[in-house]
């Protein structure tokens, strides 16, 4: 039985299969293979010398059957039982509760962690309204496929089952995306093309393609925003795709086109111009300042040289030399 389960685990490991379908497959395999233990137990109970061994096999069959029944309840229904001791066993064996809690918190997050594209204060950023043409939508869909193939992005609700997804949807009152939280693009940029603001992005700068067109920056039209402000791309998040939301009888699945949430950083052109003017004036003053000290040093050097020469001349006139002494004699 363990050999069959190991083979199935290796085969399923080559595919990107969520935990729940894989658990269903293992449950069926364990259910069928467990009856082999029953067969071995019955065969050993038939002979007096092997009845203790047969009783142990029978006990193992009953224990495995109990946990297989719990798996059927967990993977195939929404029911629970008060006789479930799996939480206690999970504590004994060590659980992945922390990992599951992190996944749930990530699904609750409305914005993911942004890549380093500069540090901006919240006062400097505005959310931009974007639209996607058919070509840009195709580029964005191709980028999502590339992210999935590279293993950067997963579409399995962070590996959580429907119970956890339903709990998150009830807490947030928002659809739960298959990609998890809004996903930050690996590379993105803002370009001015023919009086338009185009968001480009891709796996890296070499594969960047147009993904969206900015229509409004905050409450301003693009033309007015470009006229008054310097604009750069601060954040770009992937949203949309497959999602689950609460319905009348539980979760229902929908699929929306992929889109982008874009944040732009801005700076007033008038204030930027005044800052550049002040910086230029400061730089010119700093360039002129070293000339005066140099001239002063040269003047001091000339003054010190003349003073030294005069002192030496006076000293030579006052102090008698050997020649002058012999002349006096």
- Beta carbons within 8 Å of 43's beta carbon, 6+ residues apart: 54
Name the more confident of 293 and 21: 21
Interior/surface letters 172-200, b for 16+ CB within 10 angstroms, e for the rest: eeebbbbbbbbbbbbbbbbeeeeeebbbb
Asked if residue 197 lies in contact with residue 226, where contact means CB atoms within 8 angstroms, the answer is yes
pLDDT of residue 74: 79
pLDDT of residue 285: 53
Angle between helix axes 162-172 and 97-108 (nearest 10 degrees) is 40
pLDDT of residue 171: 85
pLDDT of residue 315: 45
Residue 328, both tokens: 């006096």
pLDDT of residue 8: 58
Range of weakest confidence among 15-29, 32-46, 58-72, 271-285: 271-285
How far is residue 50 from each of residues 45, 61, 138, measured CA to CA in Å?
6, 16, 69
Range of weakest confidence among 1-10, 99-108, 273-282, 299-308: 299-308
The arithmetic mean of pLDDT across residues 35-60, rounded, is 91
pLDDT of residue 327: 42
Check pLDDT > 60 for residue 149.
Answer: yes
Range of weakest confidence among 19-33, 87-101, 165-179: 87-101
Residues 160-219: tens digit of each pLDDT: 878 888 888 888 888 889 998 889 999 999 998 888 999 999 999 999 999 999 999 988
Check pLDDT > 60 for residue 78.
Answer: yes
Interior/surface letters 268-304, b for 16+ CB within 10 angstroms, e for the rest: eeeeeeeeeeeeeeeeeeeeeeeeeeeeeeeeeeeee
Check pLDDT > 60 for residue 112.
Answer: no
Range of weakest confidence among 93-107, 157-171, 254-268, 300-314: 300-314
Place of tokens 């939280």: 181
pLDDT of residue 156: 86
Check pLDDT > 70 for residue 303.
Answer: no
DSSP class of residue 15? S
Planar angle of CA 221, 224, 225, nearest 5 degrees:
80
DSSP class of residue 13? T
Check pLDDT > 90 for residue 105.
Answer: no
Rg of the chain (C-alpha set): 40
């Amino acid at each position: 039985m363990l050999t069959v389960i190991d083979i199935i685990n290796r085969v399923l490991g080559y595919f990107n299969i969520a935990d729940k379908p894989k658990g269903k497959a293992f449950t069926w395999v364990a259910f069928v293979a467990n009856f082999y233990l029953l067969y071995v137990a019955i065969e050993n109970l038939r002979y007096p010398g092997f009845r203790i061994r047969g009783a142990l096999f029978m006990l193992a069959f009953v224990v495995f059957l109990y946990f297989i029944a719990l798996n059927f309840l967990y993977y195939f229904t929404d029911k629970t039982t008060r006789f479930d001791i799996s939480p206690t066993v999970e504590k004994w064996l060590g659980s992945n509760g922390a990992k599951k809690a992190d996944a749930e918190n990530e699904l609750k997050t409305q914005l993911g962690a942004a890549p380093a594209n500069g540090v901006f204060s919240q006062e400097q950023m505005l959310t931009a309204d974007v639209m996607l043409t058919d070509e840009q939508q195709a580029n964005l869909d191709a980028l999502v496929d590339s992210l999935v193939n590279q293993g950067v992005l997963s579409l399995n609700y962070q590996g959580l089952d429907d119970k956890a997804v339903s709990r998150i949807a009830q807490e947030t009152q928002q659809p739960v995306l298959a990609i998890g939280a809004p996903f930050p693009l690996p590379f993105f940029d803002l370009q001015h093309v023919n009086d338009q603001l185009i968001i480009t992005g891709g796996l890296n700068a070499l594969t960047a393609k147009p993904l969206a067109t900015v229509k409004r920056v905050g409450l301003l039209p693009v033309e007015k925003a470009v006229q008054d402000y310097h604009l750069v791309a601060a954040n770009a998040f992937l949203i949309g795709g497959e999602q689950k939301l609460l319905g009348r009888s539980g979760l229902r699945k929908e699929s929306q086109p992929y889109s982008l949430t874009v944040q732009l950083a801005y700076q007033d052109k008038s204030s930027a111009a005044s800052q550049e003017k002040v910086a230029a004036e400061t730089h010119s003053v700093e360039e002129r300042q070293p000339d005066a000290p140099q001239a002063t040093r040269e003047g001091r050097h000339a003054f010190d040289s003349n003073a030294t020469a005069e002192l030496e001349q006076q000293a030579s006139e006052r102090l008698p030399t050997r020649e002058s002494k012999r002349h006096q004699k």
